[in-house]
Chain A
Amino acid sequence: MLAYIIRRVAQSALVLLIVGLVAFSMFTFVGDPIDNMLGQERTQEDIDRLRGQLGLDQPFPVQYYKFLENAVQGNFGVSYRQGRPVSDILLERAPATLELAAVSGLLAIGFGIALGVFTAIRRNGVLANFIMSASLIGVSLPTFLIGILLIYLFSVELGWLPSFGRGDTVDLGGWSTGFLTESGRKALILPAITLGLYQMTLIMRLVRSEMLEVLRQDYIRFAQARGLRERAVNFRHALKNTMVPVITVIGLQLGAIIAFAIITETVFQWPGVGLLFINAIQFVDIPVMAAYLMLISVMFVGINLIVDLLYFTIDPRLRVDGKGGH
């Protein structure tokens, strides 16, 4: 088990190193930031001075090493556009994205699993079939369109919910949260639904098909033949066996929620890292883009690591060095 964890952590580190190389390559190969930072009336002297300040005049390997050294310490340099340390900007923006992602993730997992189990158990029911048909909408409509439709219905027509922004936030020791104010909570509803709807329908359809597969197994029949209550058969015996493949997908989808927040944040002008990234692209603000790339990959890798460890707690067959034996 320990050897397995160490191996997985080493693999994760390798992945991050490669992503770091890609992120760093952007500095060298994507445009020249100096053009954007200095106005029309610049002299060669100004250019050279700024280049030296930013360390852009050094050879590639040296720059890469410096980049890694700084990145590990959470230092991604200075934003070309805002002239402030990137880490400060990210820390300022991260709570908005993380809160949005957390709420959509919980919505997606909670409703996804519940509806998946429901449609599997009542697979011939009218309501279950209706939910299955409706889920096609969630799978096939693009995120931005869902966002726009929600804004049109709930903000423009009904006027119940705000169409953009985060509402009022409360600062809790550097973490600005929108959970504590009414306008913050209200502002969260539409973006969270927009971001989570696709993941929810995906999880729901996966849970349903896995659950139907498990319900056909001999051990479910044997559980029924032993007269266990229907609830125990469905949840204790069937759902647990359903979760192993479902957790893999949920793990990947959580990463995707954070990554795809870009679109939702753009539609709702949500002041998170996704919106920051979009603005950075328009300005070729490479330190911000590189830092964002690293941040997202750390999250993906971290979530996958957690998922792999979750397998062990769920499936005893994977605990290779367990007791007993044949």
Chain B
Amino acid sequence: MTDPVLSIRNLTVDIPGRYGTVRPVDGVSYDIAAGEILGVVGESGAGKSMAGNAVIGLLNRPAFISGGEIWLNGQRIDQLRGDTMRRLRGKQIGMVFQDPLTSLNPLLQVGEQLTETMLTHLDISKAEAEKRAVAALDEVGIPGAAERLNSYPHEFSGGMRQRVVIALALCAEPSLVIADEPTTALDVSVQAQIISLLRKLCRERGTAVMLITHDMGVIAEAADRVAVMYAGRLAELGPVRDVITDPSHPYTHGLMASTPLASRGKARLHQIPGAMPRLDAIPEGCAFNPRCPHARDKCRHDPRPEMGASNAACWFPLVGAEVL
């Protein structure tokens, strides 16, 4: 296997505050290869978006990368600052945001926003940039792309706007795309279109994708591998089939069991008891132990478990536990 496009090693993000420092991302490691889609799932506040923001260098102050390494195409990028980091954004790392209604500048035509981005990163003429802008809109499936260059964002529907956002994220041909909840704000009927578009474009170009979502359906449909995050830590990491059908971590198991599926009929949904701990009150030992049905003394007192051969950060990984 070739070297991964993105390689995160022991990434830790800290937010210093008046009442002490909290750690929304705690020792997370994963790789994404070219053309691969890694789904990152977890509840709100699990640190999945924070990790994505750390990679693209857009952590909101006072949050900062306090440990670990981020490698992109063999270059270490977690220590880059200012203009050097800016040049990577858009050019090597593209980002798609959650809400297409607010992520486009309402006062600039979409063509202007596209050419502006390309002219910033690529050494091409304005005419060439405009030609490529038409091609980019055409590629994401916007009908009449040449005429729509002069349209303003409000003249597009939500789904169409997310297509424009994807065109913008990909227009300088980055090798990594971070898609942060790209379908959450969209109608269900449009979600599948956007996901398959994202998958198609990235497969064609060999772009690595970090797909951040809390929607297991989206993961099952699009991702090759999946990283499950809980309380800032990686709970489980593995090929999507294995994780979905045969989860090793009790948290993943609970998560899968609480996903509504048509095949389950009208049976009551499973619930994981309790709630994810606040960042300033993460329990000793395994962070999941108070909610875990299989927790033993070791889980409560020993230092937190590391990722083992089972792909799960658990002292007693489940074996062959079928999801209901």
Contact = CB atoms under 8 A, between A and B. Distances in A.
B116 A225 contact: no
B108 interface: yes
B56 A222 contact: no
Interface residues of B, number: 35
Contacts of B148: 324
B152 A241 contact: no
11 contacts: A217-B102, A221-B103, A222-B165, A226-B172, A227-B89, A228-B120, A236-B108, A314-B107, A316-B107, A316-B152, A322-B152
A221 B120 contact: no
Nearest to B151: A324
A230, A237, A316, A317: residue with the most chain B Cβ atoms closer than 10 Å: A316
Interface of B: 56, 58, 86-91, 94-95, 97, 99, 102-109, 116-117, 120-121, 148, 151-152, 154-157, 165, 168-169, 172
Chain A interface residue number, banded:
20 to 34
B322 to A, nearest CB: 41
Given A219-B106, A326-B156, A227 B88 contact: yes
A88 interface: no
A232 B108 CA distance: 12
Contacts of B108: 236-237, 240
Contacts, number: 91
A225 B56 contact: yes
A223 B94 CA distance: 11
Interface of A: 217-219, 221-230, 232, 236-237, 240-241, 314-317, 322-326
Contact of A221 (B58, B121, B169): B58
Contacts of A237: 105, 108
B89 A226 contact: yes
B16 to A, nearest CB: 16
Given A224-B89, A324-B155, A236 B58 contact: no
B155 A325 contact: yes
Query: Which 10 interchain pairs have the tightest Cβ spacing?
Result: A227-B90, A227-B89, A324-B155, A226-B90, A225-B95, A218-B102, A316-B152, A222-B103, A219-B105, A218-B103
Given A217-B102, A316-B152, A226 B107 contact: no
B105 A317 contact: no
A229 B120 contact: yes
Contacts of B155: 322-326
A111 to B, nearest CB: 24
Contacts of A230: 86
A228 B104 contact: no
A43 B282 CA distance: 100
B223 to A, nearest CB: 21
B117 A226 contact: yes
B128 to A, nearest CB: 18
A13 B152 CA distance: 34
Nearest to B121: A227
A60 to B, nearest CB: 51
A232 B102 CA distance: 18
B169 A226 contact: yes
Contacts of A228: 90, 116-117, 120
B90, B99, B104: residue with the most chain A Cβ atoms closer than 10 Å: B90
Nearest to A326: B157
A226 B152 contact: no
